[in-house]
Structure 1
Amino acid sequence: MRILGTEIKAGNSYTLNLNKVKLYSTSEVEVPVIIERGELDGPVVLLTGGIHGDEINGIEVVRQIIAHGWNKPKRGTIICIPVVNIFGFLQLKREFPDGRDLNRVFPGTKKGSLASRFAYQLSNEVLPIVDIVMDFHTGGAQRYNAPHLRVDAAESKSIELAKVFNAPCLYFSSNISKTFRATCSKKGIPYLLYEGGKSGDSDKTIAVEAVKGVLRVLEHLDMVTEGLPDISVNHTTVEITKSSWLRAKKSGFIHPKAQAGDKVKKDEIIASITDPYGRLRHEIKAPHDTFLLNVNYGPVVYQGDAIFHISKDE
């Protein structure tokens, strides 16, 4: 097994770096790749966070796995890249320094933009040996995602692992072109995309939910079986195959009455919109029985802004 030009021997630990990309100041910014290979042969699992530099929850998930030593398998190999977009993370920004969204340039090109070149390295120097990917994300700046997994309904192996991970919600969504997920799919690598919380925020509940899911998968693969916390499941997973965005019909202050992850009934008041002068109060009702995947917690909205991401098949 070779990664980034280094032979990875059984029973050993390595910290390598994806650092071929330099800033315009000629400074190198190292992206640590933490590798633990067990004594016995087994699957190669890649855990990634921070593809978007301001999505702290995903970074925290991978950090906890490393900090507790759960990334040290008795069989197989676990590769952790806690902060993929270290460039964005340094400034807590979503994008790469070239202004591009790293998760929209995969699999990248050898002579393309800065983000594209980095995606090319990850796609060609790490992914070829990987058997399973678990990638951790959050919602946007004011848009809070309920903890859930996203998988493509056509990928049976990903769905099988998603049910082992057992997040509170399983959302079947198609792959988006040029994403990390789409690249893994084309390579035939099962991929779990975890979403939870919002960018620029650290949410312990969201992170713990994801960590337990990772450990359930690693236990299922017989990679890590000792020293685990309680990873039992105390919820029933909601499965969603169709969704839509509920948009504001008025501009003003937004006052959510329901939270991300709630199940609400048809005509239940889930938010209200008011104006600064006390003249307007517009109530927003659930159009049908639904599950709230995402809630916009921004203080103000304009007419047409997305305020709730809701299931259509609850």
Structure 2
Amino acid sequence: MDVESANKSIVIGGVSVSPGEEKLLKIGIDRLPTGTLIDIPVYVFNARKPGPTVLIQAGLHGDEINGIEIVRRMLEEKSLNVISGAIIAVPILNIFGFIHFSRDVPDGKDVNRSFPGTKSGSMASRIAFHYVTEIMHQIDVAIDLHTGGGQRHNYPQIRFTQEDERSAHLAKIFNAPISFPSKLIRGSFRNAAFKMGKPTIVYEAGESMRFDDYSIQKGIEGIGNILQYLKMISKNESNLHTENTTVQLNDRRWLRAPTAGMFVPKVINGGEIHKGQELGLVSDTYAKKTKKIKAPFDGHLICINHQAVVNQGDALFHVGSVVNNKS
């Protein structure tokens, strides 16, 4: 990736972070009805030596706390003190959602469907607008940390943009247990970044409002792999797994509840599955009627819905077949 011959200052909210400096900055967004100011905390680590600028962000959805914990631990362990380039670390993008234990902002809108936003729009649109104008134009690479929805546990996985070879390569370097291309969604951060020419990968792991230490550790390792690849940290500064072990999937699909009832999974998330294998069952509460859910193909299980009582049509398992690299 092309970088300038000399490192540059990072300017956010009118405050400059010069080469060799690190600062905690804040982007003012709005106020609570009580008048309390709400702002987005932004950590900037700017090395003297030139290199790329990497954005590491979490909490785009306020209830997705595994990503928030990944950034917090890396800040605590001083893993983001780079020797070249710059890191912009945002532990919680959606402060409103975080304090309300919610995916969205108080008006019900999703910030991750509101990019690039407008200066005078809804709260979600204004958050997106400030983020684009203050941060996104200054970065070279973005790592967006997410968690599965309520009751849905995502096995650690990286999603990248099929049309962007650079993001596909970064996904391989990140080396999550699972990776696959994902379509761009209108109004999403990744879509806005793609239009700006900023390669972006999305790490999805764990379940909303629940810590999953394996997911957190894999996220920390993956970020370390990226930073080492970009020569932003020393090899001995991170506990990395450089041997590529990621399993790339295609032909993903959700398997849904065939009827309402009690859902009993029979498999472990992240494991291999085989065509025709019983993955789980849905039974009525009197054990009179039971329907089995079977694997449609050989592949891997990447998400399980932990909701015990389900309705017909609820998404229960997310599965994908494995890319044949020899073809």
* Short-chain TM bin: over 0.9
1:106 equivalent in structure 2: 115
Partner of 2:252: 243
CA contact (8 A) 1:32 1:81 kept: yes
Alignment of 1:1-314 (within 5 A): 1=9, 2-225=11-234, 227-233=236-242, 236-312=245-321
CA distance in 2, matches of 1:118, 1:21: 9
Could you say what secondary structure the match of 2:81 adopts? coil
| Residue in structure 1 matched with residue 4 of structure 2 by the alignment | none
Q: Which runs of 5+ in 2 are unaligned?
A: 1-8
Please report how far the alpha carbon of residue 26 of structure 1 lies from its aligned counterpart in structure 2 after TM superposition: 2.3
Deviation (angstroms), 1:292: 1.2
- Is 2:139–2:198's contact at 8 Å kept on the other side of the alignment? yes
CA contact (8 A) 1:148 1:169 kept: yes
Preserved contact between residue 243 and residue 313 of structure 1 (Cα < 8 Å): no
Give the C-alpha shift of residue 124 in structure 1.
0.8
Report how far residue 218 of structure 1 moved: 0.4
CA contact (8 A) 1:172 1:242 kept: no
Partner Cα distance (1:233, 1:44) in 2: 22
1:120 is paired with a residue of what secondary structure? helix
Segments ≥4 residues shifted beyond 4 Å: none
Identity %: 37
Deviation at 1:280, TM superposition (A): 2.1
Q: What CA distance in whole angstroms lies between the structure 2 residues aligned with 1:20 and 1:138?
A: 24
What is the one-letter code of the residue matched to 1:257? K
Is the 1:63–1:82 contact (alpha carbons within 8 Å) kept by the matching residues of 2? yes
Distance 2:235 2:228 in 1: 9
Tell me how far apart the structure 1 counterparts of residues 65 and 29 of structure 2 sit (CA, whole Å): 24
TM-score (norm 2): 0.93
Distance 2:258 2:107 in 1: 36
Indicate if the aligned counterparts of 1:15 and 1:34 stay in contact, CA closer than 8 A: yes
Secondary structure of 1:196's counterpart equals strand
Residue 136 of structure 1 aligns to a residue in which SS? strand
1:227/1:64 Cα in 2 relative to 1: closer, same or farther (>3 Å)? Answer: farther
Query: What is the CA–CA distance in structure 2 between the aligned matches of 1:234 and 1:285, rounded to whole Å?
Result: 33
- Change in Cα spacing, 1:160 to 1:235, as seen in structure 2 (3 Å) is closer
Cα distance, 1:234 vs structure 2: 6.4
1-side partners of 2:29 and 2:166: how far apart?
33
Aligned-partner residue type, residue 204 of structure 1: D
1:34-92 per-residue CA deviation (whole Å, 9 max, x = no partner) reads 11101111110110001111001010111111111111111111111001111111121
| RMSD, aligned CA | 1.4
Q: Distance in 2 between matches of 1:226 and 1:72?
A: 13
* Separation in structure 1 between the aligned mates of residue 217 and residue 17 of structure 2, nearest angstrom: 30
Say whether the 8 Å CA contact 2:161–2:201 is kept in structure 1. Answer: no
| SS across alignment from 2:29 | coil
Cα displacement string for residues 199-244 of structure 1 (whole angstroms, at most 9, x for unaligned residues): 0111110010010000011011111116524312567211113211
